[in-house]
Amino acid sequence: MKLYIIANRLPVKVQRTEGGGFEFQRSEGGLATGLASLDTHNETHWIGWPGIHTEDPVERAAITEALEKMQFHPVFLNETQILNYYEGYSNNVIWPLCHYFYAYIEYQTLYWESYKEVNELFLEKAESLAVAGDVAWVQDYQLMLLPKLLRERIKGLSIGYFHHIPFPSYELFRVLPERAELLEGLLGADLIAFHTHDYMRHFVSAVERVLLLRFALDRVIVRNRTVHVDALPMGINFDLYHNAILDPLVQEKASVFRENYGGSKLVLSVDRLDYSKGILHRLKGFELFLKENPAYLERVSLVMIVVPSRDRVERYAELKKNIDETIGNINGAYSTMNWTPVYYFYHGLPFEELLALYHIADIALVSPLRDGMNLVAKEYVAAKRDQPGVLILSEMAGAAIELSDAVTINPNDVVQISDALSYALDMSKEEQLDALKRMQAQVSRHSVHLWAKRFMDELMGIRLKNMENDQKRLVGVQAEKIRKAYRKAKSRLFILDYDGTLSAFKNRPEDAKPNAEILDTLIRLTADPMNKVVISSGRDHTTLENWLGHLNLDMAAEHGAFYKEKGVWHKKEGPMVWDAEILSIFQAFIDKTPRSKLEMKETALVWHYRRVDAWLGTMREQQLVEALMEPCSRLNLQIMRGDKIIEVKSPNFTKGSEAKRLLKQAKYDFICAIGDDTTDEDTFRALPKSAITIKVGGVSDQARYYVLMQAETLPLLNFWMDDTSTSD
Ligand code: GDG
| Ligand 1, atom 15, residue with closest C-alpha | 375
Distances (CA, A) of 712 to 294, 512, 708: 76, 17, 7
CATH number at residue 664: 3.40.50.1000
Same domain, 250 and 299: yes
- Find the 533 Cα to ligand 1 centroid distance in Å: 65
Please say whether the beta carbons of 164 and 42 come within 8 A. no
- Find the 271 Cα to ligand 1 centroid distance in Å: 7
Q: What is the pLDDT of residues 389-413, one digit of tens each?
A: 999 999 999 999 999 999 999 999 9
Which residue from 232, 376, 403, 455 has its CB within 8 A of the most atoms of ligand 1, so it is best to mutate? 376
Ligand 1 contact, 24 CB (< 6 A): no
Ligand 1 contact, 373 CB (< 6 A): yes
Q: What is the pLDDT of residues 651-704, one digit of tens each?
A: 888 999 999 999 999 999 999 999 998 889 999 999 999 999 999 988 888 999
The DSSP symbol for 90 reads I
Ligand 1 contact, 346 CB (< 6 A): no
Ligand 1 contact, 307 CB (< 6 A): yes
> What is the position in ligand 1's atom list of the atom closest to the CA of 398?
30
Ligand 1 contact, 354 CB (< 6 A): yes
In the chain, the percentage of residues whose pLDDT exceeds 90 is 84
- Find the 374 Cα to ligand 1 centroid distance in Å: 7
The gap from C-alpha 624 to its chain's centroid, in whole angstroms, comes to: 28
Same domain, 637 and 710: no
Ligand 1 contact, 364 CB (< 6 A): no
Q: What is the pLDDT of residue 696?
A: 95
Which residue from 162, 270, 358 has its CB within 8 A of the most atoms of ligand 1, so it is best to mutate? 270
Same domain, 305 and 426: yes
Q: What is the pLDDT of residues 118-145, one digit of tens each?
A: 999 999 999 999 999 999 999 999 999 9
Please say whether the beta carbons of 434 and 390 come within 8 A. no
Ligand 1 contact, 165 CB (< 6 A): yes
Same domain, 212 and 255: no
**How much is the mean pLDDT over the chain?**
94
Average pLDDT on 270-277 reads: 96
Last residue within a domain, chosen from 231, 251, 278: 231
| Ligand 1, atom 9, residue with closest C-alpha | 376
- Find the 76 Cα to ligand 1 centroid distance in Å: 24
Q: What is the pLDDT of residue 165?
A: 97
d(CA 253, CA 579): 79
Q: What is the pLDDT of residue 478?
A: 87
- Find the 330 Cα to ligand 1 centroid distance in Å: 27
Residue 26 within any structural domain of the chain: no
> What is the position in ligand 1's atom list of the atom closest to the CA of 305?
38
| Ligand 1, atom 36, residue with closest C-alpha | 349
Residue 248 within any structural domain of the chain: yes
Q: What is the pLDDT of residue 700?
A: 85
Same domain, 98 and 179: yes
Ligand 1 contact, 374 CB (< 6 A): yes
d(CA 513, CA 516): 10
Same domain, 638 and 495: no
Ligand 1 contact, 274 CB (< 6 A): no
Residue 619 within any structural domain of the chain: yes
CATH number at residue 617: 3.30.70.1020
Same domain, 364 and 442: yes
Taking the alpha carbons of 121, 125, 131, 137 in that order, is the dihedral positive or negative?
negative
CATH number at residue 253: 3.40.50.2000
Ligand 1 contact, 351 CB (< 6 A): yes
Please say whether the beta carbons of 608 and 644 come within 8 A. yes
d(CA 681, CA 668): 20
- Find the 489 Cα to ligand 1 centroid distance in Å: 67
Least confident of 24-28, 67-71, 339-343, 364-368: 24-28
The DSSP symbol for 371 reads B
Ligand 1 contact, 348 CB (< 6 A): yes
Q: What is the pLDDT of residues 478-508, one digit of tens each?
A: 899 999 999 999 999 999 999 999 999 887 8
Confidence of residue 227 (pLDDT cuts 50, 70, 90): very high
- Find the 96 Cα to ligand 1 centroid distance in Å: 18
Same domain, 272 and 387: yes
Ligand 1 contact, 363 CB (< 6 A): no
> What is the position in ligand 1's atom list of the atom closest to the CA of 348?
38
d(CA 318, CA 331): 20
Last residue within a domain, chosen from 630, 649, 668: 649
Last residue within a domain, chosen from 628, 649, 670: 649
Counting beta carbons within 10 angstroms of the beta carbon of residue 514, is it exposed (0 to 12), middle (13 to 18) or buried (19 or more)?
middle
Same domain, 134 and 107: yes
Based on the structure, what is the number of domains in the chain? 4
Ligand 1 contact, 5 CB (< 6 A): no
Least confident of 43-52, 362-371, 637-646, 719-728: 719-728
Q: What is the pLDDT of residues 30-79, one digit of tens each?
A: 677 777 767 666 799 999 999 999 999 999 999 999 999 999 999 999 99
Which residue from 195, 370, 375 has its CB within 8 A of the most atoms of ligand 1, so it is best to mutate? 375
Residue 112 within any structural domain of the chain: yes
Residues acting as catalytic residues: 497
Largest CA distance in the chain: 105
Please say whether the beta carbons of 605 and 561 come within 8 A. no
| Ligand 1, atom 6, residue with closest C-alpha | 348
Least confident of 30-34, 62-66, 176-180, 427-431: 30-34
Same domain, 248 and 313: yes
Does residue 727 have a pLDDT over 50?
Answer: no
> What is the position in ligand 1's atom list of the atom closest to the CA of 371?
30
Domain range for 326 is: 238-446
Ligand 1 contact, 305 CB (< 6 A): yes
Same domain, 520 and 563: yes
Backbone angles phi, psi at 551, to 5 degrees: -90, 160
- Phi and psi based region of residue 385 (left: phi greater than 0; alpha: psi -120 to 50; beta: remaining): left
d(CA 436, CA 434): 5
Q: What is the pLDDT of residue 39?
A: 61
Q: What is the pLDDT of residue 5?
A: 96
The answer for residues whose C-beta is within 8 angstroms of residue 519's C-beta and 6 or more apart is: 551
- Find the 376 Cα to ligand 1 centroid distance in Å: 6
Which residue from 100, 373, 381 has its CB within 8 A of the most atoms of ligand 1, so it is best to mutate? 373
Residue 49 within any structural domain of the chain: no
Interior CA angle at 402 toward 400 and 403, to 5°? 60
Please say whether the beta carbons of 481 and 63 come within 8 A. no
The gap from C-alpha 431 to its chain's centroid, in whole angstroms, comes to: 37
- Find the 333 Cα to ligand 1 centroid distance in Å: 32
Residue 139 within any structural domain of the chain: yes
Side chain identity at residue 566, one-letter code: K
Confidence of residue 728 (pLDDT cuts 50, 70, 90): very low
Same domain, 271 and 412: yes
